[in-house]
Amino acid sequence: MIPQKAEQLHSLAVAFIRSPRGNILPAGNLAPKNLPGGIRFLQLPQVPSQKSIGPGRGIGPSITAGLENFLRGGPIFSPGKKSVQKLGHTSEVTVNEHLVHSGLPGYLVHAEMAVAAAQAGKHIYCEKPLAMNVEEARRMVDAVKKAGVINMVNFNYRAVPAIKFARQLIDEGVIGRVFHWRGFYLQDWIIDPGFPLVWRLEGDKAGSGSHGDLAAHLIDLAHYLVGDIDEVSGLQETFVKQRPKLAATTGGLTAAASAEMGEVTVDDASLFLAKFKNGAVGTFEATRFAAGHRNGNMFEINGEKGSIRFNVERMNEIEFYDHTDPGDRQGFRVIAATEGAHPWMGAWWPPAHIIGWAQTFTHQVYELLNGIAGNTCPHPNFEDGLKCQMVLEAVTRSARTREWVKLDSI
């Protein structure tokens, strides 16, 4: 039974936030002095005990078996031979009476877990990209639709207040008809050819490289801000074909190499052109070889009456250009999206007291829990994830065939 009142939300798997170490923690267990804004905003009481599969506590078949056993009322996991941490990430799976949260990479049974959870009547919060391929994503969408459970994908850029405010401006017609989307997601953490072969560089585990990891965010934002994509033409390149195999992870995006070499089986860079169904056109670029860019997720949208720019490295701001201003007063101006009137910001600090990356996850889960309480699926949900997966697959096909690919052919 889905709780209908806000005060019943404590019986769910409640809010997850990202700690500085990248772990996923229940917000309700944190003292208000540590996160006053988050606690006040979500208004969640003490979190009931949860059972988690985390670093060092079993992966792969152990997770699948553990989840299925939990859904039957038994213990959640049996220890596996490998640990999540040994594979180079610190994600985990958290389950509760009502909600399953998967922060694992797609190859660690996103699809199997989601389908099993949906069949057991559990709501689902899943990491992006939704699946390893379109077939898996469609299976996940079918499962949640059939079960009628609430579902959400962790495209957390939608939960940046400045980006939601940009959507508000577009919806209000402030920039008029949209002509151009221009999106770049630039990182530089694998430029060194001696950097080891972590799981993100193996196609059977990651699905793709910068394409699924970074371009997926751009695609979802383009869908959110501009509209559905109709057709794409892609180019993908792997600059470093071989790397030393992984010896050990050393935290974050750092790792130690061994002497043995292995094949890189994903893209290092992915670029594509897009035609939107509403007539707009777009350019997309995702790479991990852009020296000087640690995490440069940037976009610009040009319309008939103005333009909007964003860079996540200044995530509390957007730049807005009003083409209807008198010529002697035109120019981009910075808007700090920190006022109480801006999305979600009334729950945090006074104006100009900025928020950070962690709060985007709090916002996501706030929307998720409200969706569960109101029995209304929030966005981005599994259908949004499927739309993104279709674009990812279409671009990869286009890069291989060197032809434009229509989305309705995927």
- 33-37, Cβ contacts within 8 angstroms, sequence gap of 24 or more: 37/347, 37/348, 37/349, 37/355, 37/359
Span of 237-246, 247-256, 362-371 with lowest mean pLDDT: 247-256
Query: What kind and span of H or E run contains 18?
Result: strand 16-18
3-state secondary structure of 88: coil
HSE-CB at 325 with a 13 A cutoff on CA atoms is 13
Q: How sure is the predictor about 127, in pLDDT bands with cuts at 50, 70 and 90?
A: confident
Chain-centroid distance of CA 103 in Å reads 10
* Percent above pLDDT 90 for the chain: 58
Structure tokens of 15?
């809010």
Query: What kind and span of H or E run contains 340?
Result: none
Q: Which residue has the higher pLDDT, 365 or 249?
A: 365
Say if CB 160 and CB 295 are below 8 A apart: no
Average pLDDT on 59-69 reads 40
> How many C-beta neighbours within 10 Å does residue 103 have?
24
Average pLDDT on 331-339 reads 97
Dist CA 202 CA 209 (whole Å)? 8
Q: Crossing angle of helices 134-147/382-401, nearest 10°?
A: 160
399: pLDDT strictly greater than 80 = yes
- 260-264, Cβ contacts within 8 angstroms, sequence gap of 24 or more: 262/197, 264/197, 264/201, 264/202, 264/238, 264/240
Distances (CA, A) of 27 to 41, 143, 372: 11, 29, 17
11: pLDDT strictly greater than 50 = no
Give the chain's end-to-end CA distance (angstroms, integer). 36
If you write DSSP's letter for every residue of 97-143 in order, what string do you get? SSEEEE-S-TTTTHHHHHHHHHHTT-EEEEPSSS-SSHHHHHHHHHH
Span of 81-95, 225-239, 259-273 with lowest mean pLDDT: 81-95
Which residue, 343, 11, 405, is CA-closest to 166?
343
Backbone angles phi, psi at 235, to 5 degrees: -140, 130
Q: Which residue has the higher pLDDT, 230 or 17?
A: 230
Dist CA 305 CA 127 (whole Å)? 36
388: pLDDT strictly greater than 90 = yes
338: pLDDT strictly greater than 70 = yes
Q: How sure is the predictor about 150, in pLDDT bands with cuts at 50, 70 and 90?
A: very high
40: pLDDT strictly greater than 90 = no
Span of 131-135, 221-225, 355-359, 367-371 with lowest mean pLDDT: 367-371
Q: How sure is the predictor about 163, in pLDDT bands with cuts at 50, 70 and 90?
A: very high
* Percent above pLDDT 70 for the chain: 73
Dist CA 111 CA 102 (whole Å)? 10
Average pLDDT on 92-118 reads 68
Domain ranges of the chain: 6-155, 158-362+389-409
Dist CA 362 CA 49 (whole Å)? 19
Dist CA 389 CA 212 (whole Å)? 8
Q: Crossing angle of helices 110-119/61-71, nearest 10°?
A: 10
Q: Please write the tens of the pLDDT for every residue from 180-236.
A: 999 999 999 999 999 999 889 998 888 899 999 999 999 999 999 999 999 999 999
Q: How sure is the predictor about 112, in pLDDT bands with cuts at 50, 70 and 90?
A: confident
Dist CA 358 CA 338 (whole Å)? 16
HSE-CB at 65 with a 13 A cutoff on CA atoms is 10
> pLDDT value at position 271?
98
Span of 20-34, 136-150, 196-210, 253-267 with lowest mean pLDDT: 20-34
Dist CA 336 CA 342 (whole Å)? 9
Q: Which residue has the higher pLDDT, 140 or 103?
A: 140
Say if CB 93 and CB 63 are below 8 A apart: yes
> pLDDT value at position 262?
95
CATH class held by domain 6-155: alpha beta
> pLDDT value at position 252?
65
> pLDDT value at position 115?
87
Do the first three CATH levels of 6-155 and 158-362+389-409 match, i.e. the same topology? no
| Report field, pTM of the whole predicted structure over 0.85 | no
> pLDDT value at position 374?
84
Structure tokens of 255?
């790792």
Q: Does domain 158-362+389-409 have CATH number 3.90.1150.10?
A: no
If you write DSSP's letter for every residue of 238-291 in order, what string do you get? -S--EEEEEEEEEETTEEEEEEEEEE--S-SEEEEEEEETTS-EEEEEEES--T
100: pLDDT strictly greater than 70 = yes
